[in-house]
Amino acid sequence: MSVNIEGLSSKELAELISRANQRKKVLAKRKPAAQVKAAVSKLLKASGWTFAELYGAAGAARPAAAAAPKPARKSTKGRTLGKVAPKYRNPANAKDTWAGRGKQPKWLAAETAKGRKLEEFLIK
């Protein structure tokens, strides 16, 4: 975090220094990170666990603070998607159709699992 101190008044600067000194005192009371890591590792080893077993391989690879944020998904909010004509029909129930977009419906997945081809259900 960087603070532009050039634009601060003397009162604001004194407040910043005071807060910085308070934070420095809190950090000084902490044990060094290497010492804490060694203690945690020793405790885990004595318990028969590994860090990866408790927190997963991703947790062991890097700390959560260093994790890169995921890119935001593109939203379809406010955008209308047109209806698509169905391409596949269930021969057992003509009302069951699928446009070929998204996840296959259960009836189609069950039929293809039996060995039938997707082309058998095309609407002509």
pLDDT in tens, 19-57: 999 999 999 999 888 898 889 889 988 998 888 888 776
- Dist CA 31 CA 46 (whole Å): 21
In percent, how much of the chain has pLDDT > 70?
Answer: 90
HSE-CB of 60 using CA atoms within 13 angstroms: 11
Average pLDDT over residues 103-119: 93
pLDDT value for 68: 67
Identify the bridge partners of residue 98 per DSSP, sorted by sequence position. 88
Within 8 A by CB and 6+ apart from 41, the residues are 51
Average pLDDT over residues 83-94: 91
pLDDT value for 71: 75
In which residue are the tokens 């057992």 written? Answer: 92
pTM: 0.36
Q: Which residue has the higher pLDDT, 7 or 106?
A: 106
Q: Residue 80 pLDDT more than 80? A: no
Identify the bridge partners of residue 97 per DSSP, sorted by sequence position. 89
